[in-house]
Structure formats: structure tokens, C-alpha cells
Amino acid sequence: IRLKGEKDEL
Amino acid sequence: MNAFRLAGDMTHLISVLVLLLKIHTIKSCAGISLKTQELYALVFATRYLDIFTDFISLYNTVMKLIFLGSSFSIVWYMRRHKLVQRSYDKDHDTFRHQLLVLPCLILALLIHEQFTFKEVMWTFSIYLEAVAILPQLVLLQRTRNIDNLTGQYVFFLGAYRSLYILNWIYRYFTEPHYVHWITWISGLVQTLLYADFFYYYISSWKNNVKLTLPA
């Protein structure tokens, strides 16, 4: 599961 | 944030600045593919849909704004600015970018982590970024006469991708549950596309001769 805020990469 | 990630973001930023420098000060976009630039604008527009909804950090938001702003202004320059427009090598920049957009969209609809609009768009942007450089590489090969700034632009873009791979390896070993197959495979494909260019770029630099690509 993807955790919130995990997409911290650009 | 680890050093690889920061270095990756910085080389990405440098590549954009090199391109803007070329376009803004020399008023030339010779050797630059409008197709690739339009694809990047689409990549950022579809990836950063979360910009106003999910706050990660000030760094993150500022960088997103920079990449959005720069990619759209480059497209604007190449399409609308009288002087810049004139230097655009339209006859050689003939790659059909629909051939990249459509398969990426279909792939994103088939392979994604969650079936929501934002998630599918994000996945689409990851797939599209992987292949967005292709029109640029084809144009380089066709024109063969590559000026320094164009060569540096592509070199820094490739460096950014390579550093992101090191960043993923580092994060995999230091962060729990850090597994992102979609990003990794797309990123690897993207980096491999630069391999050929890198080879010629580095050998021209080592031998101190002007960069040319074989036909």
C-alpha cells in the first residue's frame, strides 16, 4: 500500500 | 533526502537552466526538439496534479513549480517567440509524438497501483517521461551538428536519471517498504536510452573533439 506523502520524488 | 536524490534534482535543474539560457540569451533553439519539450510539459502537468492538494515540503512544491513553469515557457518560446521560432529545426523534428503518448496512456490504464484519475495520470507521466527524450535523440542524430549547450542539456538530463537510480538503490536499503516497480522499471528504461549518447558524449570530451553522432 502506498502511504500518504510517499510520492516525495519529482 | 539523500545526496544522490539531491544531486539528481540539481542536474535536472541545471539541464533546464542550460536550455533556458540557450533559448533566452542566444534566442536560439537550434537542435532542440519541440516534440520532446511538449512531452515534458505534458509529463509535469499530469504528474503534479497533487501540487495544491498534497503538501510534502516547500522544496518539493517549489521544484514542481519550477519544472512546470520552465517546461511550459520553453514550449511557448519555441512556438511563439519570433526569433526563437526561426531557429527551430522543424524539418528534422518529425518524430510522431502521438506514437508515444497513446501507448503510455494505454499502459497506464492497464498497469497502475490504484485505479483513480490522479494515480493513472501519475503513472502515465512516469511512462511518458521514460520515452519523452526519444524525439530529441532522433533529432540529434539527424542534425549531427550538435552545439555545446544542446550536448550539455542532454548530458545533464541523462545524469539526472542515472542519479535517481542510485537514489532508489540507496533508499531501498535504508528505508522500510521502499518498493516502487513502476518507477524503477520506467526509470531504468529511460536511463538506458541515454547510454548511446553518453558513450559518444564522453568520448568526444575525452578526446577533446566536437560531439558528433554516427548516422
B chain contacts of residue A9, beta-carbon cutoff 8 Å: 5, 164, 167, 183
Interface with A, mutate which of B14, B46, B60 (most A CBs under 10 A): B60
Q: How far is CA B42 from CA B75, B85, B117, B124, B141, in A?
A: 11, 20, 15, 10, 24
Shortest distance between the Cα of B55 and any Cα of chain A, in A, equals: 8
Residues 1-10 of A with CB under 8 A from B: 2-5, 7-10
pLDDT tens by residue, A1-10: 455 446 899 9
CB within 8 A of B90, min separation 6: which ones?
A: B34
Per-block mean pLDDT, blocks of 10 residues, chain B (215 long): 97 97 95 98 97 91 97 97 95 94 98 95 97 95 88 96 96 90 96 93 90 85
| Cα separation, B126 vs B129, whole angstroms | 5
Angle between helices B117-131 and B181-193 (to 10 degrees): 20
Q: What is the distance, to the nearest Å, from the Cα of residue B135 to the centroid of all Cα atoms in its chain?
A: 11
Look at the block and give the residue holding cell 536519471. Answer: B161
Look at the block and give the residue holding cell 526509470. Answer: B187
Q: Is the ipTM of this complex over 0.90?
A: no
